[in-house]
Amino acid sequence: MVGGVHILVAEDEDLVAMALAEVLEAEGFRVTVTHNGQKAIDTDVLDPADLLVTDMRMPIIGGKALIETLRAKRPNLPVIVMTGYSEDLPNDEPGRLVVLRKPFSMSTLVRHAVAFLHCPQRPTQEIVDKKKAAAKKARPLVLVREET
């Protein structure tokens, strides 16, 4: 179900952007990374996001202007704001916007993404492996009716 869900990440720090993309893709989301607000706006025009994950301080256009621009077209676009600063932050909007202060855990980011997008959380690989092993062990019951 999450495979077609598109998350747009706007983050100017390369290592942070790569880590975010890796974690979100591992959860099955389709992720596009941009390094400033203008690139995020341009990308969203061509491939609209289902969720925006943005830093607040970026070159060219910052997170606040990015959110305002994208929400002008899609007011209900869910947004996860990431920031290491405490001034000029948007207020949390239940079901629509959450502010994560850096550093935050990737599991927190994933939990919010899943909640905003109403996606069931994928089982861990360990659970998937156990289910596969159990399925291999289980043999179908075949009933044979003998003619008399």
Residue with tokens 């927190």: 108
How many domains is the chain built from?
1
Neighbouring residues of 65: CB distance < 8 A, sequence distance ≥ 6: 37
pTM equals 0.76
Q: CA angle 129-131-133, nearest 5°?
A: 70
Length, in residues, of the chain = 148
**Of residues 105 and 129, which shows the higher confidence score?**
105
What's 147's DSSP letter? P
Domain that holds residue 61: 2-137
Beta strands in the chain (DSSP E): 6-10, 30-34, 51-55, 79-83, 97-101
Q: What is the pLDDT of residues 36-66, one digit of tens each?
A: 999 999 999 999 999 999 999 898 999 999 9
| C-alpha–C-alpha distance, residues 112 and 96, integer Å | 10
Tokens standing for residue 92: 């949390």
Q: What is the pLDDT of residue 132?
A: 56
Instruction: Provide the CATH number for the domain around residue 28.
Output: 3.40.50.2300
